[in-house]
Each structure stands twice: as structure tokens, then as C-alpha cells.
A and B are shown apart, each in its own frame.
Chain A
Amino acid sequence: MVIDLDRCNGCQACEVACRTENNIAVGGPERAREDRTISWIQVRSEVEGEWPDVRSRFIPVLCMHCDRPPCVTVCPTHATQKSADGLIGQIYPRCIGCRYCANACPYTIKSFNWFAPEYPPETLDGLNPDVSIRPAGVIEKCTFCYHRLQKAKDQARAEGRPLREGDYVPACVESCPTEAMVFGDLDDPQHRVHHLARDPKAFRLLEGLSTEPKVFYLAEEK
């Protein structure tokens, strides 16, 4: 994934799309007060300068799906693991809730279900049947909408063709009104992200830690 920070205006459509797509629990005011709400993608903001010369900067942060993921090595039960596609998944029924992966993640992007998830009754019909509901006491995080990848793969197989760019994008990318987020195969020269990730403006978060994140950012110019 490549995120162009020049294009991000902090609208948080990605957060909303992610919530709906992935059945993320609605914590309500109480969880919000405790700062225990769950979000798989967060638009973190920073205000620069002093009034009146202020400027807001936004950076959407989600699971980086690292190539050398510190969370995977520390998990005692293989509940968090790297798939053959290179995505970091979380097996909820296997997670024992030790929160070691959350501590090991330098991006502090894993969420924990402190209580059993709650949903307002009127939203129950709208839950996504493709995504499992997480029980209390497990870790959850962004999966790059892995269920969409599975569907896209099935579709491609049925049509007897390889997976193409655009067959599969996560909900956050799909919802971004400014097209700040671009998704694809970083290793495939046919895909836009392959080239964008090699842009001189491209950088990754905490690159010095050598976790090899698969989320690239394009630095702001203006």
C-alpha cells in the first residue's frame, strides 16, 4: 500500500469504511472515555506551528504488514502469522490474549478486546457476513481486508485468469475520496504501487527498525 500524504485531508472515511467492512465493535461513550475503542486504521493528526500560522498534518496508520514482523515472532501460539501472500493475519480462536504481539509492535496498532464486543441492535443486520466477530480477550488488527482477497482469488480462478490490479482493494482504499491510498502488489512491475514505492518521496515509518513495512508513504510537498 502507498499513501500519498499530500492528498490526505484527514476526512477519516477510511476509518468509517474499515469499521463497517470489518464489523468493528461500537464501544460507545464509555469505551471512548476509557480510550479503549478499537480501530484498525487511525488517521493520526499533528498540528504544526503557532496560532494563527497553524497547519494540520494527517497520517493514516494501520497494520504495516511487515516483512520482518516482530509481532509474529513473539506470538506463543502462531495466532498472528504471515500468510503466503505476505499479509499478517490474526487467528482469533487461537489467540490467548497475552498481548505480547501488541507490545512487540513498534507501531502500536494492535487492538485488544477488553470486553465482549457490543453493537447497537439496529446495526446487527448490517454486519458483514464475511468477517468473523471477535470475542472478548483477543487481539485484533487490520488484515488488509483479507476476505476480499479470498473472494477476488476465487473469482479470478473461476474466470481462469491471474489476479489483476484492482481485483482486490481493502475497504479503506476503496473509500478514500482523494485517492490518497493506492493498493497493489509491491513486487509486480505492472502495479502502480511498485513504482510509487520507489518514488524519491517514499518513506516508511520507523524504517530504522528493519521491520520492513509494506505500507509506504509519500512525503508531503506542500
Chain B
Amino acid sequence: MSDLEKIEGLPADQRILLRPLVRTTRVFWFWAGLMAAIALWGLFAYSLQLRWGLGMTGLNVPEYWGIYIICFVFFIGISHAGTLISAILRISKAEWRRSITRSAEFITVLVIGFGAIQPIIDLGRPDRVLNVILYGSVTSPLLWDVCSICLYLTASSIYLYIPMIPDLALIRDLGIRPRWLYWFLALGYEGKPHQKEVLEKIISVLAVAVIPIAVSVHTIIGWIFALTLRPMWHSTIFGPYFVVGAIYSGIAALILAMAVLRRVYGLGNYFKDIHFNNMGLMLLLMSCLWFYFTFAEHLTAWYGGEEAEMATLWSKLTGEYAFPFWLMVASCFFIPFVLMCRQATRGVWGTSIASFFVVLGMWLERFNIVVPTSQNPRLPREVVHYVPSWVELSIMAGTFAGFILVYMLATKFFPIISIWEIEEGRELSVKEVSERVASYLPDAIEEATA
């Protein structure tokens, strides 16, 4: 009996959600091949950079950081999609979360890896990266960064894995290939009551634990910039600003992933309009918060009027970087706000378009933080214009393609929607939610006793 036949007789939820694991379409192979080719090209570009040095990039003095650091902050920001959103929704018992948590957690774990390699690509001597541990300096935000990212990767991997165990056990019991993988990963889980109890306890503890870890990760990335004396980096707002931006881009990336998954795997029944509507509302909230933080940051710099800061500020508002700056403002605020504040445009297409612009805008935001400040050092010197070289652009394209490729592969080995949580929702939640809602209401007081 082939794997495909094995799942045909299953209940609808299991059948639909397990189908991607056993059937691979030509379209999938095409896209996987394309992504692999781009990723390999990026790898080739990196090999040249390793061979000849960072001179292969467009970086220079004083433009020490460029595309790699921009992508680092961007990718780690996207990684806030999963764990944070899914943890918040789990803790707040938002029942509509059930079909979206897994895809979000996968984004987190996979993208954080691609984010974490960016600073290593950026190093002049990647062969010495272990020196950060051997000779670590506690005063350096880079060391805190390494620690928090490692902790985040560990915690979010466990947080992805533990809630997947019941599904892995189901796949193991069905005997879908590769059998050894599912046998190994299912850890002998059989769905016994005490196993379930332990599982749920771990999930609830992790959901609480990952939130401060995720906040720490992006705060520290903000501090990497803020703990220097550079104009417009040395700002107290950077910690929270980066966290808000990260969550914002994370939500947008998740919406895009949901829209694609819904289409390619026919999951319209799981990623419903209501999911996009609710995610769209979160996008709306975050767009307002983003605007508030951006406005506060720039207003403070302008009011201070410090010479070096003003040079950077004007280069963004009206100068060399006015285009990326105002495109960012449009992409991160005006477009998503206008689209998301109306119910009619909070459908699949509306949220997807808004999310595309948010992702673009948040990349630009990192560009607008890194580049204009780098170009405006406190002591004026010969101006160098930063133009990323083909090596940098190839490596960037390669990492984007690499992330998409591993995400595609992940959907081929693991159900991208949690089967047991959907089933649990059908069986238990309806009753539980009506009881919960009833408990919110004032207790009925009998007229006679009044």
C-alpha cells in the first residue's frame, strides 16, 4: 500500500493536512529547483568573498555595515512571527489560532537560522567566530546578541517540536516514509492521558517563556546600534522600536506564508477569511504603533538639533535617502493602514498586499537605520556612496531563496497545520468556549431575592 493510499481512508482533517507529505506536484519541484539554484548561486558568491575578502562587497570606510547587517536585523525580525504570535495567541486562548500556530513557528525556527548566519557572512574572519566564546567580552552587545539568539533558537525549536509530537506519532502509526524519522521524532508518544498532560504542561510553560526571550532578542539587536555614539543610533527608543518592528514584519511574513500555503495546498478551509481578517487587525494595530515610534524617534532627533544628527536626519527626509525613507513610510504605514482599516479590504488579497508592502518597508527601515548613519560620521571625511556589489546582492538573494526552499521542504515532512489541535478544537473547544464566555457574564440574580 503506497503512502498516498494510506491516507485516503483517513478522516477529512488528517487526509487534507497529510496530503502534502505524500504527494509532490511538478509546480513544487519547479519552485524548489529554482530556489535551490538561486541559493547555490549565493553560495558561489560567498565562496568568492571568502577567497578574496570583504573587498568583494561595496562596503567601505565609513560604510562598515551594509546588506548583510540589514538582512540580519530583517530576518531576525521576521522570526518574531512565529513564536511570539503563536505564544501570545495560545496564552490568550484565542481559538482562531489553531490552524496558524504551526506555520508561524516554522517561520521562526527556519528564518532565525538564516538571520544568524548573516553576521558571520559579514565577518572579515569567519574562521575566528569561536573567539566570541573563547575571549568573550561581557561589555559587548554582540556577545549578548549571540547568547540571546542561541537561546531563542533553542527555545523556539523546542516550542515548534513539542506541540508537533502528537502529529508525528500519528504519522509514525500510519507508517509514512521516512519511517525512521517519525519513529525517532515521536519519542514513543502514544497519546496516553499522562503523556498528554505532560505535553500540555510543557507547551504552556514554553509559551510563557519564549515571550521575554523573543523581546530580549530584538531589544539587544536594537542596542547593538544604540550603544554606540553614532548620530541617530544612540537612542533609547531603539530597543522597543526594534521589538515592535520585528513583530510587525513577523505578522506580515506569516500572512504571506498563509496566503501561499492556502493556495498551493488547498487549505482554504483552514486559513479562512476570518483568520486573514484577524491577522489584518493585528497588522493595523502594529502599523499605528510603528508610525508612533518612527515619529517619536525622528521628532526627538529634530528637536535636539545636534549637528551630526541633523545631517543624518536631513539625508533621510530630503536628501540622498529620501526615496527609501518615504517609500518606507508609505509601505509601513499609509498602505497597510488604508487597506487594513476597512473590513472590505481585510480579505486574503487585501492583507497579502498590505503584508507585501510591510515586509518591503521593514527591510527598507533597516536600510534607513544602517546606511544614512554610516555615511554621516561625526568627524566629516570624504563621502563614499554605498552601492552593494553583485556579491552582496547574490548572497542576499541566496539566503532569501534558501529560506523559502527549507520552508517548502518543511511542509513536505511535517503537517503545516497542527492536526491534533484542530481535532481538539472540534471536540472540546466549542463547549469550553461557551462555558468560558458564560463565566465572564454577571451571575444571574433572581428577581425574588432582590
User: Which of A's residues lie within 8 Å of B, judged by CB?
Assistant: 34-36, 44, 61, 70, 72-79, 94-100, 102-104, 106-108, 111-116, 135-139, 205-206, 209, 211
Cα–Cα distance between A156 and B111 once the two chains are bound (Å): 59
The answer to whether B60 touches A61 (Cβ under 8 A) is no
Chain B nearest CB, measured from A116 CB (Å): 7
Q: Contacts A70-B229, A73-B140, A137-B124 known; A108 to B135 CB distance under 8 Å?
A: no
The answer to whether A36 touches B124 (Cβ under 8 A) is no
Cα–Cα distance between A34 and B136 once the two chains are bound (Å): 33
User: Is the C-beta of B52 less than 8 angstroms from some C-beta in chain A?
Assistant: yes
The answer to whether A103 touches B227 (Cβ under 8 A) is no
Chain A nearest CB, measured from B430 CB (Å): 52
The answer to whether A103 touches B230 (Cβ under 8 A) is yes
Those 5 A-B pairs whose CB atoms lie nearest each other, nearest first: A97-B124, A137-B124, A114-B55, A76-B142, A99-B64
User: Is the C-beta of B435 less than 8 angstroms from some C-beta in chain A?
Assistant: no
Q: Contacts A115-B53, A138-B124, A206-B378 known; A96 to B61 CB distance under 8 Å?
A: no
19 contacts between A and B (CB under 8 A): A34-B55, A35-B61, A70-B229, A73-B139, A74-B141, A74-B227, A76-B131, A76-B137, A76-B146, A77-B136, A79-B135, A96-B124, A98-B142, A100-B224, A103-B374, A106-B377, A106-B378, A107-B378, A114-B60
Checking A74, A106, A111 against B142 with a beta-carbon cut-off of 8 angstroms, the contacting residue is A74
Cα–Cα distance between A157 and B124 once the two chains are bound (Å): 39
User: Is the C-beta of B379 less than 8 angstroms from some C-beta in chain A?
Assistant: yes
Chain B residues lying within 8 Å of A77, measured Cβ to Cβ, are 128, 131-132, 134-137, 140
User: Is the C-beta of B54 less than 8 angstroms from some C-beta in chain A?
Assistant: yes
The answer to whether B384 touches A35 (Cβ under 8 A) is yes
Chain B residues lying within 8 Å of A135, measured Cβ to Cβ, are 125
Residue on A nearest B233 in the bound complex, by CB: A103
The answer to whether A114 touches B54 (Cβ under 8 A) is yes
The answer to whether A137 touches B142 (Cβ under 8 A) is no
The answer to whether B379 touches A98 (Cβ under 8 A) is no
| Segment 46-62 of B: residues with Cβ below 8 Å from A | 52-55, 59-62
Chain A residues lying within 8 Å of B60, measured Cβ to Cβ, are 34-36, 114
The answer to whether A100 touches B230 (Cβ under 8 A) is no
The answer to whether A205 touches B379 (Cβ under 8 A) is yes
Cα–Cα distance between A205 and B224 once the two chains are bound (Å): 24
Q: Contacts A77-B131, A94-B135 known; A99 to B227 CB distance under 8 Å?
A: no
Cα–Cα distance between A113 and B64 once the two chains are bound (Å): 12
Chain A residues lying within 8 Å of B62, measured Cβ to Cβ, are 102-103, 108
Chain B residues lying within 8 Å of A35, measured Cβ to Cβ, are 60-61, 382, 384
User: Is the C-beta of B123 less than 8 angstroms from some C-beta in chain A?
Assistant: yes
Chain A nearest CB, measured from B385 CB (Å): 10
Given A98-B122, A112-B64, A205-B379, 16 new contacts (CB under 8 A): A35-B382, A72-B139, A74-B227, A74-B228, A76-B142, A77-B131, A78-B135, A97-B128, A104-B230, A106-B230, A108-B62, A112-B61, A114-B55, A116-B53, A135-B125, A138-B125
